[in-house]
């Protein structure tokens, strides 16, 4: 049987055996790369997934594989970023919107990895991101000398990628080819190092990274875990730093809360400039929406702008999503939308995340994620394997729905409310230090937002 066929049948078996959300989260993007003697080599899209699949599904995967190909005895998991869907697409005529997306993708500068759509000119500044923005401007004027490294941190969708790529694009347009720039996500960096080790090409990596003048590293929180990668990053960092090359880093949390980072790297980060991006307040959101609608040539009444600003509280990506959806509807319908239609879009898109979530949805998503029964999660059993799921459920009920602790306690485990407070605090404290926990929470939140 062909590899692809084999894996397809394995997946369809697995799909039956584990819950749907878990299948989608962990296995949908897996591939069978190779079968070497009795070992099946399976690729997964990132380290977190790899660890999870190895720990939870390895046995099941092997036994399923064995049923189909009896010579297979072991499975090996490796991380490999999956090709973009646009490359795989067999559709000969991509639709207008897809075409546009495709174009955007192909515009990425192969030398610097920068996407030209992220510019400092289109970066809206308010009190929530002023510090990070002025640090960015200072870096453009004084490459490698003023703030080095520049470390920018903030929550999801608040503009970290936009800002650091904006710095790169600005430097490129000011200094042209005199300055060599390289943008990379820490995940990509990790993959490259691992590939280089396996293929004995470390020298290529060293020379590629150590010859740049400006290195932009996005989402540094994902770098950890692999000693060799961190070590390579440390040497790259030092070599650039000592030669007065500019380093710019983004992260979802401050250096001191990066759990996996070696002390020596952490103190290097702390030696530069650290700037955070916080949540934009209401007025700033109104300003963002106004600017974005102008850019997109989308005319919206003040009332709708205010409605979006009131509802879209999570981040700028959410705002962008709503505006894109409105644009999309207008272009497919070929007309300006009526007020009620606009209101409907805004409510639908924001309600999903904030207002319509029920405690039952959270309980169901946590149970699905850990593959336990909702009744066990909420019940009185003191079984050890229920501890973490319960603490996470308590945390999410508080964090997403702001429920009172006595009420949460009555829902989960039927204990005293101090148990709920303890659980909430514990998760909340660990969250900043424990990347693994952080990822789990993010994935469960995604399940909640997707659930009906």
- Contact residues toward Mg ion (CB under 5 A) are 160-161
| Cis, bond preceding 195 (omega within 30 deg of 0) | no
Give the whole-angstrom CA distance, residue 407 versus residue 42: 44
Spatial contact of 143 and 246, defined as CB atoms under 8 Å apart: yes
Residue nearest Mg ion (C-beta atom): 161
320-379 positions binding ligand ADP, by CB under 6 A: 320
**Nearest distance from residue 291's CB to ligand ADP, in Å?**
7
- Alpha carbons 341 and 256: distance in angstroms, whole number: 46
Please report, as residue ranges, which positions from 298 to 317 form the binding site for ligand ADP (by CB under 6 A).
316-317
Cα separation, 75 vs 77, in Å, equals 7
The residue sitting closest to ligand ADP, measured at its beta carbon, is: 159
Among 43, 161, 169, 439, binds ligand ADP (CB under 6 A): 161
CA 91 to each of CA 56, 85, 86, 198: distance values in angstroms, whole numbers, following the listed order:
36, 11, 9, 35
Distance of CA 23 to the CA centre of its chain: 19
Output 158 or 437, the one with its CB closest to Mg ion.
Answer: 158
How far is residue 447 CA from its own chain's centroid?
A: 14
Contact map string, positions 59 to 98, toward ligand ADP, x by CB under 6 A: ----------------------------------------
Name the segment binding ligand ADP (CB under 6 A); options: 15-23, 160-168, 228-236, 301-309. Answer: 160-168
Considering only 24, 156, 360, 387, the residue that binds ligand ADP (CB under 6 A) is 156
* One residue of 140, 158, 289, 312 binding ligand ADP per CB under 6 A: 158
User: Of 267, 254, 258, 240, nearest to 151 (Cα)?
Assistant: 254
Q: Least distance from C-beta 164 to Mg ion, angstroms?
A: 8
User: What SS3 state is found at 199?
Assistant: coil
Which of the listed partners (Mg ion, ligand ADP, none) does 44 bind, with a CB threshold of 5 to 8 Å by partner kind?
none
Tell me the backbone φ, ψ of residue 182, rounded to 5 degrees: -140, 125
Indicate whether 124 belongs to the interface with ligand ADP (CB under 6 A).
Answer: yes
Task: Give the tokens for residue 324.
Answer: 């894109």
42 touches 82 (CB < 8 A)? no
**For Mg ion, which is the closer residue by CB, 146 or 317?**
317
With respect to Mg ion, which residue has the nearer C-beta, 160 or 292? 160
Residue closer to ligand ADP (CB basis): 258 or 403: 258
Report DSSP letters for 29-65, one per residue: T-EEEEEETTEEEEEESSHHHHHHHHHHHHHHHHHHH
CA distance 209 to 196: 13
**Burial class of residue 250 in the structure, from the number of CB atoms within 10 Å of its CB (0-12 exposed, 13-18 middle, 19+ buried):** buried
Choose the contact partner of 123 out of ligand ADP, Mg ion, none; CB within 5 to 8 A by kind: ligand ADP
Residue 279 and residue 313: Cα distance in Å, rounded? 8
Closest distance of CB 107 from Mg ion, Å? 18
Residue 168's contacts (CB-CB under 8 Å, 6 or more residues apart) are 112, 114, 181, 183, 214, 216, 248
Stretch binding ligand ADP (CB under 6 A), from 102-110, 122-130, 184-192, 443-451: 122-130
By a kind-dependent CB cut-off of 5 to 8 A, residue 147 interacts, out of Mg ion, ligand ADP, none, with none
Query: Cβ of residue 251: shortest distance to Mg ion, in angstroms?
Result: 10
CB of 158 to Mg ion, least distance (A): 9
Residue 438, interface with ligand ADP (CB under 6 A)? no
The only residue of 45, 157, 225, 379 in contact with ligand ADP, by rule CB under 6 A: 157
Selected binder of ligand ADP within 129, 246, 378, 391 (CB under 6 A): 129
Alpha helices (H) in 222-370, listed in sequence order? 227-242, 263-270, 282-295, 302-311, 316-333, 339-351, 359-370
Q: Look at residue 266 and give the partner it binds from ligand ADP, Mg ion, none, a contact being a CB closer than 5 to 8 Å depending on partner kind.
A: none
Cβ of residue 84: shortest distance to ligand ADP, in angstroms? 17
Is position 123 an interface residue for ligand ADP (rule: CB under 6 A)? Answer: yes
Task: Choose between 183 and 405: whose C-beta lies nearer to ligand ADP.
Answer: 183
Q: Is 160 in the site for ligand ADP (CB under 6 A)?
A: yes
> Is 365 in contact with 448 (CB distance < 8 Å)?
yes
**446 contributes a contact to ligand ADP by CB under 6 A:** no
Nearer Cβ to Mg ion (31/317): 317
CA 174 to chain centre: 31
State the residues that interact with ligand ADP by CB under 6 A.
122-124, 129, 154, 156-162, 316-317, 320
């Amino acid at each position: 049987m062909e590899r692809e066929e084999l894996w397809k049948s394995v997946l369809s078996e697995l799909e039956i055996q584990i819950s749907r959300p878990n299948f989608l989260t962990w296995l949908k993007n897996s591939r069978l790369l190779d079968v070497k003697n009795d070992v099946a080599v399976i690729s997964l899209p990132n380290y977190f997934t790899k660890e999870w699949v190895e720990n939870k599904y390895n046995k099941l995967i092997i036994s399923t594989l064995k049923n189909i190909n009896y010579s297979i005895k072991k499975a090996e998991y490796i991380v490999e970023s999956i090709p973009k869907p646009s490359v795989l697409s067999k559709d000969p005529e991509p639709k207008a919107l897809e075409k546009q997306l495709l174009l955007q993708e192909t515009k990425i500068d192969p030398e610097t990895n920068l996407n030209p759509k992220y510019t400092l000119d289109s970066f809206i500044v308010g009190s929530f991101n002023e510090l990070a923005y002025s640090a960015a401007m200072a870096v453009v004027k004084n490459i490698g000398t003023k703030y080095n490294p520049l470390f920018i941190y903030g929550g999801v969708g608040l503009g970290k990628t936009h800002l650091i790529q904006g710095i790169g694009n600005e430097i490129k347009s000011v200094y042209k080819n005199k300055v060599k720039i390289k943008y990379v996500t820490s995940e990509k960096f990790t993959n490259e190092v691992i590939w280089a080790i396996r293929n004995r090409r470390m020298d290529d990596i060293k020379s590629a990274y150590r010859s740049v003048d400006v290195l932009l590293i996005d989402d540094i929180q994902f770098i950890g875990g692999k000693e060799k990668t961190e070590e390579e990053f440390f040497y790259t960092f030092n070599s650039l730093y000592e030669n007065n090359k500019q380093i710019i880093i983004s992260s979802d949390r401050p250096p001191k809360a990066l759990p996996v980072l070696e002390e020596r790297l952490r103190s290097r980060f702390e030696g530069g400039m650290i700037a955070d991006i916080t949540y934009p307040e209401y007025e700033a959101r109104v300003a963002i929406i106004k600017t974005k609608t102008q850019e997109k040539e989308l005319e919206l009444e003040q009332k709708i702008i205010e409605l979006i600003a009131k509802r879209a509280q999570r981040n700028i990506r959410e705002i962008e999503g709503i505006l894109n959806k409105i644009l999309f509807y207008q272009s497919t319908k070929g007309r300006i939308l009526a007020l009620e239609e606009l209101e409907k879009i805004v409510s639908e898109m924001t309600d999903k995340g904030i207002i319509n979530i029920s405690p039952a949805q959270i309980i169901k998503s946590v149970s699905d994620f850990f593959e336990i029964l909702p009744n066990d999660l909420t019940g009185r059993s003191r079984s050890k394997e229920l501890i973490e799921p319960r603490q996470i459920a308590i945390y999410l009920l508080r964090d997403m729905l702001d429920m009172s602790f006595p009420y949460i306690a009555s829902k989960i485990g039927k204990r005293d409310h101090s148990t709920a407070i303890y659980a909430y605090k514990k998760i909340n404290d660990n969250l900043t230090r424990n990347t693994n926990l952080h990822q789990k929470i993010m994935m469960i939140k995604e399940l909640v937002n997707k659930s009906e």
